């Protein structure tokens, strides 16, 4: 199977980690965990996140904290690392753009581009957005939602700037990019984002500056110098984009290129959908398979911003994880997040509603109910259903007993999960997994094993029937837990410990998620009730508050 390489944006070290950063990284984490599960091991999966450290703002913030830019970057990069560790993000590497392994590669790439005439020296005049550190095209500058010639992001006035710059011959790649987009409808997901790019491409592509002059201003001295021209430094965005390649540009990691997916939000689509692929074409590198572009988390309908002070920051996330468990937080982010076109609101009421419906009353309740019955009626030993798995699924007429065909239901859920994963629709993939839990609940309500059990000692037909029902339930829940584990690795692992059913190391998803397959619950093996995975929450309870 093909190697799988997933990336997140590398985050500006100047920001403090918040829900937005954690969201993209958790999304990439779930995708990477699924990819490892599909392949039956971590060997062919590489998941990268990291920090973008050469922005001018780093110099000013560092100075205001009495630190060197690198000391400041070290401190904040460490915060991102610990934030992602807290979120149980399983990245294989964390790249920092100040690392020599990156800066050396950036020099190689720029040299390669110069050799082919794709990077050359010229004059540049344009609209500069100081708050975002980027030049904007005339159209974008004019049509800013905050008024003509203001930053579309912050609304601050743009300034006209001219400078001697190295340029990238972006214009030369316009046709090839258009062709690539036409031939690969899945290159930018969701489709609306692809249309956005196609629309903007019609304006045509001008060559873009890829360097900035180095002056007496200390801020201008921070960054990677142009090879053989210390009077210029490489524009932070170009430096940053190269991280995806530099991190795997070593003999042992080269096989991961090209990435299966670059994940990001809509704010940085243009760089990834236009500039980056053209740089790669100029370098002669294969293009990433997919750019997955999500929308924003907002708070109470408003964009989160420093001025409003309404960030859902790491302390808020930690307070939620403390109260409801980290996996409940991951579940909420993954299933209610802004995966498609619309922004998603982070709200406590919604959180509790989803927590109760999907987790406490869903997988949590269902697993407790089934484990309790097995404990009570079978002394905590996985019951042996009568006959074979095939006979458990279908009667003599080839019809499922009680309309419950475990292997078929689990097969369908797996199929749904896989096809949703293909489009990186993690919310739908997880909904498919959860549908197995709902199906088990319905089956219990229809077959009422707790009523049957009343005659367990008097009616000899009851024991095998009860064994069949409870095996169906427990084995289907086991499969559900496997499919849910990329979202909730901690909670599912604790279920596997109490149920004694961790998937065999090296098992592929096809095996681990097969009802009655090689990783099935073994009849006769002990399983304990354990603590309920999620306790119900009171919708009226106050929102968890950050204590710090």
Residue numbers at the binding site for ligand MSP (CB under 6 A): 9-12, 15, 20-21, 23-24, 52, 240-241, 243, 264-265, 267-268, 296-297, 304
Q: How far apart are CA 269 and CA 462, in angstroms?
A: 61
Sorted by sequence, the CB contacts under 8 Å of residue 420 that are 6+ apart come out as 426, 428, 429, 432
Instruction: Give the long-range contacts of residues 238-241, CB within 8 A, separation 24 or more.
Output: 238/168, 238/210, 238/275, 238/279, 239/54, 239/97, 239/106, 240/10, 240/52, 240/54, 240/97, 241/271, 241/272, 241/275, 241/276, 241/279
Closer residue to ligand MSP (CB): 272 or 491: 272
The DSSP call for residue 18 is B
Q: What is the DSSP string of 172-234?
A: GGHHHHHHHHHH-TTSEESHHHHHHHHHHHTT----EE-EEE--SSGGGG-SPEETTEEEEEE
Report residue 464 CA to chain centroid gap.
Answer: 44
Question: Least distance from C-beta 293 to ligand MSP, angstroms?
Answer: 8
Closer residue to ligand MSP (CB): 193 or 439: 193
Question: Least distance from C-beta 147 to ligand MSP, angstroms?
Answer: 23
Question: Least distance from C-beta 281 to ligand MSP, angstroms?
Answer: 17
Closer residue to ligand MSP (CB): 50 or 503: 50
Residue nearest to ligand MSP (CB): 20
Closer residue to ligand MSP (CB): 28 or 370: 28
Closer residue to ligand MSP (CB): 265 or 440: 265
Closer residue to ligand MSP (CB): 270 or 496: 270
Q: How far apart are CA 253 and CA 57, in angstroms?
A: 32
Question: Least distance from C-beta 71 to ligand MSP, angstroms?
Answer: 19
Question: Least distance from C-beta 107 to ligand MSP, angstroms?
Answer: 18
Question: Least distance from C-beta 267 to ligand MSP, angstroms?
Answer: 5
Closer residue to ligand MSP (CB): 15 or 163: 15
Question: Least distance from C-beta 110 to ligand MSP, angstroms?
Answer: 16
Q: What is the DSSP string of 432-472?
A: HHHHHHHHHHHHHHHH-HHHHGGGTTT-TTHHHHHHHHHHH
Closer residue to ligand MSP (CB): 290 or 367: 290
Q: How far apart are CA 506 and CA 512, in angstroms?
A: 10
Q: How far apart are CA 422 and CA 416, in angstroms?
A: 10
Element (H or E) spanning 103, and its range? helix 100-115
* Cis bond upstream, residue 258 (ω within 30): yes
Among 508, 504, 477, which residue's Cα sits nearest to residue 491?
477
Q: How far apart are CA 483 and CA 410, in angstroms?
A: 10
The DSSP call for residue 381 is B
Look-up of token digits 């059990």: 453
Closer residue to ligand MSP (CB): 104 or 535: 104
Question: Least distance from C-beta 520 to ligand MSP, angstroms?
Answer: 39
Question: Least distance from C-beta 481 to ligand MSP, angstroms?
Answer: 28
Question: Least distance from C-beta 19 to ligand MSP, angstroms?
Answer: 7
Question: Least distance from C-beta 546 to ligand MSP, angstroms?
Answer: 18
Judge whether 111 and 88 are in contact, CB under 8 Å.
Answer: no
Closer residue to ligand MSP (CB): 48 or 513: 48
Burial zone of 60 (CB within 10 Å; 0-12 exposed, 13-18 middle, 19+ buried): middle
Closer residue to ligand MSP (CB): 24 or 365: 24
Record the tokens describing residue 523, joined without a space: 């009849």
């Amino acid at each position: 199977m093909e190697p799988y390489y997933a990336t997140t944006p590398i985050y500006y070290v100047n920001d403090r980690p918040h829900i937005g950063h954690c969201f993209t990284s958790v999304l990439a984490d779930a995708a990477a965990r699924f990819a490892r599960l599909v392949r039956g091991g971590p060997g062919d999966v590489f998941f990268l996140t990291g920090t973008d450290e050469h922005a001018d703002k780093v110099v000013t913030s560092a100075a205001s904290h009495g630190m060197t830019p690198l000391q400041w970057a070290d401190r904040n990069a460490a915060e991102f690392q610990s934030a992602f560790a807290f979120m149980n993000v399983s990245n294989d590497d964390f790249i920092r753009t100040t690392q020599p392994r990156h800066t050396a590669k950036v020099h190689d790439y720029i040299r390669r581009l110069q050799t082919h005439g794709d990077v050359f020296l010229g004059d540049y005049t344009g609209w500069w957005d100081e708050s975002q550190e980027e030049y904007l095209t005339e159209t974008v500058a004019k049509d800013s939602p905050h008024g003509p010639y203001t930053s579309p992001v912050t609304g601050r006035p743009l300034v006209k700037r001219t400078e001697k710059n190295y340029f990238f011959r972006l214009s030369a790649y316009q046709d090839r990019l258009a062709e690539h987009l036409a031939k690969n409808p899945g290159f930018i997901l969701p489709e609306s984002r692809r249309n956005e790019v196609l629309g903007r491409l019609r304006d045509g592509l001008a060559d873009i500056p890829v360097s900035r002059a180095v002056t007496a201003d200390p801020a201008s001295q921070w960054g990677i110098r142009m090879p053989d021209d210390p009077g210029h430094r490489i524009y932070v965005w170009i430096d940053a984009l190269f991280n995806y390649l530099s991190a795997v540009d070593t003999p042992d990691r080269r096989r991961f290129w090209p990435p299966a997916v670059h994940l990001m939000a809509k704010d940085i689509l243009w760089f990834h959908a236009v500039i980056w692929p053209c740089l790669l074409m100029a370098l002669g590198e294969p293009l990433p398979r997919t750019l997955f572009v999500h929308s924003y988390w907002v708070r109470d309908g408003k964009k989160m911003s420093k001025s409003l002070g309404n960030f859902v920051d790491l302390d808020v996330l930690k307070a939620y994880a403390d109260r409801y468990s980290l996996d409940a937080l991951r579940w909420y982010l993954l299933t209610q997040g802004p995966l498609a076109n619309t922004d998603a609101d982070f709200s406590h009421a919604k959180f509790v509603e989803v927590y109760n419906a999907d987790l406490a009353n869903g997988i949590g309740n269902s697993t407790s109910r089934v484990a309790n019955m097995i404990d009570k009626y079978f002394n905590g030993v996985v019951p042996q259903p009568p006959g074979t798995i095939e006979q458990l699924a279908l009667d003599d007429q080839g019809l499922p007993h009680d309309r419950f065909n475990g292997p078929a239901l689990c097969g369908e859920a797996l199929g749904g999960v896989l096809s949703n994963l293909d489009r990186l629709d993690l919310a739908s993939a997880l909904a498919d997994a959860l549908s197995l839990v709902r199906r088990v609940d319905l089956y219990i309500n229809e077959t009422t094993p707790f009523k049957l059990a009343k005659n367990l000692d008097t009616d000899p037909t009851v024991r095998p029937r009860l064994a069949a029902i409870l095996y169906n339930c427990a084995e289907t829940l086991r499969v559900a837990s496997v499919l849910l584990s990329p979202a909730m690795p901690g909670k599912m692992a604790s279920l596997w410990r109490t149920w004694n059913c961790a998937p065999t190391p090296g098992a592929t998803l096809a095996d681990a998620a097969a009802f009655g397959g090689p990783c099935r619950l073994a009849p006769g093996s002990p399983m304990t009730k354990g603590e309920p995975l999620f306790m119900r929450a009171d919708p009226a309870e106050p929102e968890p508050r950050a204590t710090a």
